[in-house]
Amino acid sequence: MVTRIRALLLSTAVLAGCVLSPPPDERLHSTLWVQTSAEYAVLTRQVYGLAADRLESGLTDPDWNAVPGAPAGWVLPPAIIVDVDDTVLDNSGHSARMILAREGFTTENWRAWVRESSAPAVPGAVDYLRSAVDLGITVFYVTNRHHDLEDDTRRNLVAVGCPVATEVDVVLTRLEDPEWGRDKTSRRDFIAQRYRVLQIVGDDLADFIHLPKNVDDKQRSALAAQQDDRWGQSWFMIPNPMYGSWEQALMPEGVSLFSRPMEEKFEHLEPK
């Protein structure tokens, strides 16, 4: 009966020439929070401020290293590793464009956004990076942007005031080396062989550790808990409610929730 009533209402609206409202976009609330809330800016500045305060501790402790398994000691020069997207550069504008255009994420609209090199900095990021450079620390940007977008990425980083060294390649992109895939572990290890990494900053668990294929949400939480002694010391997480590997972990075979009906999320809610 309910289904028949809904069908009748829909057909009546169409016959009457009514314009139906577009379906709700699940990205709207999170994107608005990033773009408009005081809380988001406070959180990111707070994280970056804490990270900046911990830099000197890392410099003066010869056993301090943010990359698990990396050698300790004074032999190597100091460095930090930061993710780019929604860690240093704020891409909420891209999300807003997709919402307004009633579009999903596509490689084409993402590449067009990156090529504009117009993303603003995440609050607190530039001050933190400059503090590191002032201490003689090299900043490495490890991003999963494709290698052919590296020049656009560098241009954007420089435009917002991020320090980008020129004497060494510090922007390590995906497939810049054939072995550098989406998993960032190989690039973290590459840096750790040449520098003593004091800190890692990112917005996704995969910015810090290797995530097994098809890992679920409970397994991700367990992996994060195994590194409790690093969070807030040498690892710093920037909040990102818009997207990430966390949403893929909720679906079979790691399919993004953006391509699924919103109703499929309901089963993951815990009304406690």
Domain extent, residue 159, equals: 32-268
Map residue 261 onto helix, strand or coil: coil
Whether residue 104 is contained in a domain is answered as yes
Whether residue 26 is contained in a domain is answered as no
Least confident span in 134-138, 195-199, 216-220: 216-220
Give the CA distances from residue 1 to residues 7, 10, 11, 120, in Å, rounded to whole numbers and listed in that order: 10, 14, 15, 52
Whether residue 95 is contained in a domain is answered as yes
Q: Which amino acid is at 264?
A: E
pLDDT digits (tens, 9 = 90+) for 61-104: 988 999 998 877 778 999 999 999 999 999 999 999 999 988 88
The count of structural domains within the chain is 1
Q: Which tokens sit at 36?
A: 């408009």
| CA distance linking residue 204 with residue 236, whole number of Å | 10
Instruction: For tokens 């953006």, name the residue.
Output: 258
| The pLDDT of residue 8 | 36
Confidence of residue 258 (pLDDT cuts 50, 70, 90): low
Whether residue 112 is contained in a domain is answered as yes
Question: Does the pLDDT value for residue 252 go beyond 50?
Answer: yes
Question: Does the pLDDT value for residue 15 go beyond 50?
Answer: no
% the chain with pLDDT above 90? 72
Half-sphere exposure of 83 (CA within 13 A, CB side): 27
Whether residue 152 is contained in a domain is answered as yes
| The pLDDT of residue 176 | 92
Q: Is-contact 184 67, C-beta < 8 A?
A: no
Question: Does the pLDDT value for residue 11 go beyond 50?
Answer: no
Instruction: For tokens 């929604």, name the residue.
Output: 86
Q: What ranges in the chain are assigned the alpha helix state H?
A: 2-15, 28-36, 38-60, 92-100, 107-116, 125-134, 150-159, 185-192, 217-225, 245-248
Q: How many CB atoms lie within 10 A of CB 78?
A: 20
pLDDT averaged over the chain?
88
Whether residue 3 is contained in a domain is answered as no
Question: Does the pLDDT value for residue 115 go beyond 50?
Answer: yes
Over residues 54-63, the mean pLDDT reads 94
Question: Does the pLDDT value for residue 13 go beyond 50?
Answer: no
Map residue 225 onto helix, strand or coil: helix
Q: Where is pLDDT greater, at 96 or 253? A: 96
Question: Does the pLDDT value for residue 210 go beyond 80?
Answer: yes
CATH code of the domain containing 231: 3.40.50.1000
Over residues 20-44, the mean pLDDT reads 87
Whether residue 16 is contained in a domain is answered as no
Instruction: For tokens 């939480």, name the residue.
Output: 221
| The pLDDT of residue 21 | 56
Whether residue 177 is contained in a domain is answered as yes
